[in-house]
Amino acid sequence: MIKIKKRKFLLLPGDGIGPEVIAEVKKIINWFNTNKSLDFEIDEDLAGGASYDKHGTPITDEVFYKALECEAVILGAVGGPKWDNLEFSKKPERALLKLRKELKLFANLRPAICFKQLVDASTLKPEIVSGLDIMIVRELTGGIYFGEPRGIKPIDNGERKGINTHTYTTSEIERVAKVAFDLARKRKNKVTSCEKSNVMEAGLLWKEDVQALHDREYKDVELSHMLADNCAMQLLRNPKQFDVIVTDNLFGDMLSDEASMLTGSLGLLPSASLGAKNKDGEMRAMYEPIHGSAPDIAGKGLANPIATILSFAMALRYSLDLDKEADLLEKSVQDVLDKGLRTKDIMSQGTKEVSTSQMGDAIIACLQN
Q: Which residues bind ligand NAD (CB under 6 A)?
A: 17, 77-80, 96, 266-267, 288, 291-297, 303-304, 307, 345
Asked whether 25 and 305 are in contact (CB, 8 A), the reply is yes
Residue number, 99 or 326, with CB nearest to ligand NAD: 99
In the complex, the smallest distance separating the C-beta of residue 84 from ligand NAD, rounded to whole angstroms, is 7
CA angle in degrees (0–180, nearest 5) for 218-193-240: 100
Q: Which residue lies nearest ligand NAD, judged by its C-beta? A: 292
* Spatial contact of 254 and 103, defined as CB atoms under 8 Å apart: no
Q: Which residues contact 319 (CB under 8 A, 6 or more apart)?
A: 71, 72, 283, 285, 287
CA separation for the pair 333, 326 (Å, rounded) = 11
Active site residues: 145, 196, 229, 253, 257
User: C-beta of 189: minimal distance to ligand NAD in Å?
Assistant: 31
Please check whether residue 267 is in contact with residue 343, taking contact to mean a CB–CB distance below 8 angstroms: yes
CB of 98 to ligand NAD, least distance (A): 13
Looking at the Cβ atoms of 85 and 157, the one nearer to ligand NAD is: 85
Pick 270 or 292: Cβ nearer ligand NAD: 292
**Closest distance to ligand NAD from the beta carbon of 163 (Å):** 26
Cβ of residue 176: shortest distance to ligand NAD, in angstroms? 20
- Closer CB to ligand NAD, residue 223 or residue 294? 294
Does residue 269 contact residue 114 with C-beta atoms inside 8 Å?
Answer: no
Looking at beta carbons only, is 173 or 329 nearer to ligand NAD?
A: 329
- Judged by beta carbon, residue 203 or residue 292, the one nearer ligand NAD is 292
Torsion sign across C-alpha atoms 136, 138, 311, 257 = negative
Q: What is residue 166's DSSP assignment? A: -
- Please state, as a whole number, how many other Cβ atoms lie within 10 Å of the Cβ of residue 297: 19
| Separation of alpha carbons 154 and 274, rounded Å | 39
Beta bridge partners of 247: 138, 194
End-to-end CA distance of the chain: 43
Cis peptide bond N-terminal to 305, omega within 30: no
Q: Is 155 helix (H, G, I), strand (E, B) or coil?
A: coil
Least Å from the CB of residue 7 to ligand NAD: 25
